[in-house]
Amino acid sequence: MKLALFKTLWGHDGDLPSAIEMALEAGFRGIEGPVPADAAGFFRQLDGTPWIAEVTTCTPPGEYLPRPHLGVDAHLVSLEEGIVRSLPGGPLFITTMAGSDAWGLDDCLRFHEGVLLLQQRHGLVISVETHRGRPTFHPWRTAEILAAFPELRLTCDFSHWCVVCERLVLDHESALLETISRHAHHLHGRVGYAQGPQVPDPRAPEYAAELAAHERWWDFLLAAMRERGTETATFTPESGPDGYLQCQPFTRTPVADLWEINRWLGRRQLDRHSLS
């Protein structure tokens, strides 16, 4: 099995060609991000570069939390609009932050049933991210959804669960990790900790335990993917801005360089698995 790295467009300050150039120079396979306002220009600039399409439901542009009080039907409409908007660019698959954490279990199940229907309708994998603000915001609700839909695919970002549960939660939930591994389709590589979704710098020795925990979990998922015959596993290092990256008070000077961290984390995973 090969490991393919993708550069997130989240936090990239330049244009798309510069993002692609940076990704390819660092040994990444392609990019991950949403379709911008100029969809036609975006698709022209992709020029065949492998792309994972990001779709968020019921969020204003540039935001990630869903608008409050919107129900299942509104989120399914929003998801399909994002899928249709992405299809002309030929994405490898859709990764989505979708739905709302305010729903009860019945609505969560109805929504994810709709996700699978959209996947069938459009003939493209829809991989649902484990993300705060969404039905997959914590591991036990996610497990309830997966029990109802064995065919559902996940984009696994465990950093969110660390801060929601205020601990390295999957170190104490081996059965849950095994359940998640059966649904893992794509990995988001960000190192979270008990008080936040992103440590200031995963290279720092004070966060060695958090880095080691996330790598144990990623290794478990990759082993499960290899066991079921996955030929290429996709991994997007996803340290990002918007309050995730810590800054100095008053000056707002970032404590680290996002691309430097993401490049380091991605190459580290290639080296650890002797894959390229």
Sequence spans of domains, the chain = 2-273
Task: Considering only residues 275 and 197, tell me which one the structure prediction assigns the higher pLDDT.
Answer: 197
Find the farthest-apart pair of alpha carbons in the chain and give their distance in angstroms, rounded: 51
Q: What is the pLDDT of residues 27-79, one digit of tens each?
A: 999 999 999 999 999 999 999 999 999 999 999 877 888 888 899 999 999 99
Q: Which two tokens stand for residue 13?
A: 């300050």
Sign for the pseudo-dihedral over CA of 170, 171, 173, 178 = positive
Please count the residues of the chain. 276
Token pair, residue 79, equals: 């998801």
Statement: the pTM of the whole predicted model exceeds 0.85: yes
Mean pLDDT across 198-203: 98
Q: What is 2-273's CATH superfamily?
A: Divalent-metal-dependent TIM barrel enzymes (3.20.20.150)
